[in-house]
């Protein structure tokens, strides 16, 4: 870990799949590629004065947990017609204002050429990106303006080699988290994903996680984009012992579906842009929902790991709370996205949230619709309970929350959130 380029108009931390090298189904281990790209940009002054920050994701796994579609540059696995494995290239994704899913620009990249391609894109961004208006200077605006083909042409003019067309895509797209017990590609070993609700863990617990990794695993603790941690390299005959450790009561491999799906940004506690407190509030709301719904959302089927009944990526409700419009908690891709606001209540200003519904990554990726505005924070738990209750009553078999939210018209969803109801499904169909 380094603080170098943790901020500034430069390449940021390069994302990779947290279980690279151990995932039983990965196409190939892309971690060395991520490391090489990171090493190229970190401290490289030639690319430290870009128009704006520059985010890169690289993965050789099939599940896109590194969220290629939300980064300025995304490399996800593909196969060239000659059989070579490498990446297809996406550019121009991101959230915040002007949220956009990245465009596939029809380029195949072999692992040994990934650093040069990332470099050439940074050069392109540096030369053609908007330096006048910081509100529109992220690369997604440039890709939108130029179009995927125009961007590809400019990239081809700057890359050190000809750009081959995209290969056969090998991604299944976003699957969700790595919570639970999962078999590794190495026979006889598993990794255990522990839920760290909203990414907040006590220092003593983090030390304990390190000790457990030494005692039971391969000495590594891996951090995931969804704020969880993973202990890897656990032999089969040590799994039960690890699962019985007290830390796993606090950070469970089998959490309730709302605590599992809860994400929160820094909020007012440490962020000067924040409008509302986020971390404590999101934990309280998630625990409340797990209590009210007794740890299930819908069917409770299809576990995401092998521990207990589990809640797969298909059977959790993701609630993401950002303290302002900057989207650090990624509310746009949540089932329920919350964004800090203020509201006037009983003659005084109070903390509030805008509420959006129906976001997801994956094969049906789409951003939320903002459905209700400036709801006072103390009214949110009841509103969420009412919403989830309605979903449980109306859902089709196997229908996930975001699918239901997209099916129901927004005015009706708003009615549920405001307590004014809205017609139930039976009435709507009459
Ligand atoms: S979303 Fe806003 S409040 Fe939250 S960490 Fe980012 S800038 Fe700060």
Left if phi > 0, otherwise alpha if psi is -120 to 50, otherwise beta: which for 410? alpha
**Beta carbon of 322 within 6 Å of any ligand 1 atom:** yes
Predicted structure pTM score: 0.91
Q: How far is the CA of 110 from the centre of ligand 1 (A)?
A: 36
259-428: CATH number:
3.30.413.10
Same fold, 15-169 and 180-253: no
Looking at residue 2, its pLDDT comes to: 87
Tell me how far apart the alpha carbons of residues 320 and 307 are, in angstroms, rounded to a whole number: 25
Looking at residue 423, its pLDDT comes to: 54
**Beta carbon of 192 within 6 Å of any ligand 1 atom:** no
pLDDT tens profile 314-331: 578 999 999 999 999 999
| Probe target for ligand 1 pocket from 273, 276, 338, with the most ligand atoms within 8 Å of CB | 273
**Beta carbon of 265 within 6 Å of any ligand 1 atom:** yes
Q: How far is the CA of 232 from the centre of ligand 1 (A)?
A: 31
Q: How confident is the model at residue 295 (pLDDT cuts 50, 70, 90)?
A: confident
Nearest to 297 by CA among 281, 284, 313: 313
Residue 113: C-alpha distances to residues 62, 120, 158, 397 (Å) = 20, 11, 13, 46
Q: Which residue has the tokens 């738990």?
A: 381
**Beta carbon of 271 within 6 Å of any ligand 1 atom:** yes
Q: Residue 336's beta-bridge partner residues?
A: 319, 357
**Beta carbon of 323 within 6 Å of any ligand 1 atom:** yes
pLDDT tens profile 135-159: 899 999 999 999 999 999 999 999 9
Fold designation for 15-169: Sulfite Reductase Hemoprotein; domain 1 (3.30.413)
**Domain 180-253 falls under CATH 3.20.20.70:** no
Tell me how far apart the alpha carbons of residues 153 and 132 are, in angstroms, rounded to a whole number: 24
Lowest mean pLDDT among 192-196, 234-238, 294-298: 294-298
Span 46-64, average pLDDT: 95
**Domain spans of the chain?**
15-169, 180-253, 259-428
Q: Which residue has the tokens 């169909």?
A: 429
| Probe target for ligand 1 pocket from 274, 332, 351, with the most ligand atoms within 8 Å of CB | 274
Q: Residue 180's beta-bridge partner residues?
A: 193
Nearest to 71 by CA among 59, 62, 86: 59
**Beta carbon of 217 within 6 Å of any ligand 1 atom:** no
Span 151-178, average pLDDT: 95
**Beta carbon of 273 within 6 Å of any ligand 1 atom:** yes
Span 113-140, average pLDDT: 95
**Given a cut of 90, is residue 394 above it in pLDDT?**
yes
Q: How far is the CA of 274 from the centre of ligand 1 (A)?
A: 5
Residue 216: C-alpha distances to residues 147, 234, 247, 251 (Å) = 50, 6, 13, 16
Token pair for residue 40?
A: 């190229």
Span 44-65, average pLDDT: 95
First to last CA, the chain: 59
H/E segment holding residue 251: none
Mean pLDDT over each residue of the chain, to the nearest integer: 92
Q: Are 372 and 391 in contact (CB under 8 A)?
A: no
Q: How confident is the model at residue 175 (pLDDT cuts 50, 70, 90)?
A: confident
pLDDT tens profile 199-209: 999 999 999 99
Q: Which residue has the tokens 């790209």?
A: 37
* Count of positions (residues) in the chain: 430
Tell me how far apart the alpha carbons of residues 94 and 327 are, in angstroms, rounded to a whole number: 10
Secondary structure of 155-197 in HEC code, one letter for each residue? HHHHCCCCCCCCCEECCCCCCCCCCEEEEECCCCEEEEEECCH
Of all atoms in ligand 1, which is nearest to the CA of residue 275?
3
């Amino acid at each position: 870990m380094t603080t170098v380029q943790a901020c500034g108009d430069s390449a940021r931390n390069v994302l990779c799949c947290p279980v690279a090298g151990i995932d039983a189904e990965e196409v190939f281990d892309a971690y060395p590629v991520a490391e090489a790209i990171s090493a190229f940009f970190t401290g490289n002054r030639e690319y430290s004065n870009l128009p704006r920050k520059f985010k890169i994701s690289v993965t050789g796994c099939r599940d896109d947990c590194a969220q290629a579609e939300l980064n300025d540059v995304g490399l996800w696995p593909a196969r060239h017609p000659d059989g070579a494995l490498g990446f297809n290239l996406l550019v121009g994704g991101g959230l915040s204002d002007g949220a956009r899913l990245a465009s596939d620009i029809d380029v195949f990249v072999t692992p040994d050429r990934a650093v040069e391609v990332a470099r050439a894109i940074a050069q392109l961004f540096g030369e053609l990106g908007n330096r006048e208006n910081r509100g529109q200077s992220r690369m997604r605006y440039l890709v939108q303006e130029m179009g995927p083909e125009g961007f590809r042409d400019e990239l081809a003019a700057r890359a050190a080699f000809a750009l081959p067309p995209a290969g056969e895509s090998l991604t299944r797209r976003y699957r969700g988290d790595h919570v639970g017990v999962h078999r590794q590609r190495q026979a006889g070993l598993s990794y255990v994903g522990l839920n760290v609700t909203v990414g907040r863990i006590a220092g003593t617990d983090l030390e304990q996680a390190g000790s457990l990794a030494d005692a039971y695993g391969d000495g590594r603790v891996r951090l995931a984009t969804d704020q969880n941690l993973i202990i890897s390299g656990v032999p089969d005959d040590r799994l039960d012992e690890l699962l019985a450790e007290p830390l796993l009561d606090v950070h469970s491999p089998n959490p309730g579906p709302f605590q599992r799906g809860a994400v929160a940004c820094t909020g007012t506690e440490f962020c000067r842009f924040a409008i509302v407190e986020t971390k404590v509030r999101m934990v309280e709301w998630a625990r409340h929902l797990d209590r009210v719904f007794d740890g299930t959302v819908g069917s409770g089927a299809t576990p995401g790991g092998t521990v207990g009944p589990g809640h797969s990526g298909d059977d959790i409700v993701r609630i993401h709370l950002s303290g302002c419009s900057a989207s650090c908690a990624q509310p746009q891709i949540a089932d329920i996205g919350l964004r800090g606001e203020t509201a006037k209540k009983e003659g005084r200003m109070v903390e509030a949230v805008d509420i959006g519904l129906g976001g997801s990554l994956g094969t049906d990726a789409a951003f939320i619709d903002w459905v209700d505005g400036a709801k006072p924070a103390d009214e949110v738990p009841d509103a969420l309970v009412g919403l989830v209750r309605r979903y449980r009553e109306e859902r089709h078999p196997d229908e996930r929350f975001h699918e239901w939210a997209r099916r129901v018209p927004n005015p009706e969803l708003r009615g549920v959130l405001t307590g004014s109801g809205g017609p139930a499904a039976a009435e709507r169909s009459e």
